[in-house]
Amino acid sequence: MGVLGNFGLWTVDFGLGVMKSRNEIAIHAPYDRIFPLAAKVEEWGRILPHYRYVKLLRREGNRKWVRMSAWRDIVPVTWTAIESVEEGTEAHPGTIKFRHIGGMVRGMDVQWSFEPRPERGEVVVSIYHQLDDPPFPVKLLGSRLIEAIVGRGFIGNIARKTLKRIKELAEQDVVEDV
């Protein structure tokens, strides 16, 4: 059994080499405004200031192979992932999934989920990260340093900034076409 820590908007669970984290935010905007901002990953370098770039490498149906790079303050972080988008509606929200296939957290799965709360005029957006078997050399850090450096220091930081900016964009009266 892992150790579960609550760090405000996100939690990290480490047990037997498994890292799980969740970031979430309530966005006061319609689902159909939020989902495209999150799903069009190839636009993140333009709309998310902490992203250096996102390069579309290949597209097949609802899947995109992308090379991504973001700033963790002054440290650039780069990885390759496959994004899979399942469209949805407010009544049956879609999902966005990433599988990291290159970089320091190769093998990590990421899932975005959307929980519309029409009675409150909001959608709760969650990003869930799971790394079952940290790759070498990350696994050499051990669970406490993985939690501090990878979980809170990088994943939590970048995901928190991403959700905050998606919220800002979605809650604007006029949203640019993405």
| 131-155 confidence digits (pLDDT tens) | 888 888 887 877 777 777 787 778 8
Q: Which residues contact 130 (CB under 8 A, 6 or more apart)?
A: 18, 19, 20, 108, 109, 110
108/102 Cα distance (integer angstroms): 10
**What H or E segment, with its residue span, contains residue 48?**
none
Q: What is the pTM of this model?
A: 0.85
pLDDT in tens, 32-67: 999 999 999 999 999 999 999 999 999 999 999 999
Could you give the CA distance from residue 158 to residue 119 in angstroms, rounded to a whole number? Answer: 30
Burial class from Cβ neighbours inside 10 Å (0-12, 13-18, 19+) for residue 3 reads exposed
Count of CB atoms situated within 10 Å of the CB of 5: 14
CB atoms within 10 A of CB 94: 17
**Phi, psi angle pair for 46, to nearest 5°:** -90, -35
For the ranges 3-12, 19-28, 140-149, the one whose mean pLDDT is highest: 19-28
**Partners of 21 in the β-ladder:** 12, 129
Average pLDDT rounded to a whole number, residues 86-110: 96
- Contact call for residues 46 and 148 (beta carbons, < 8 A): no
Q: Is the dihedral of CA 154, 157, 160, 161 positive or negative?
A: negative
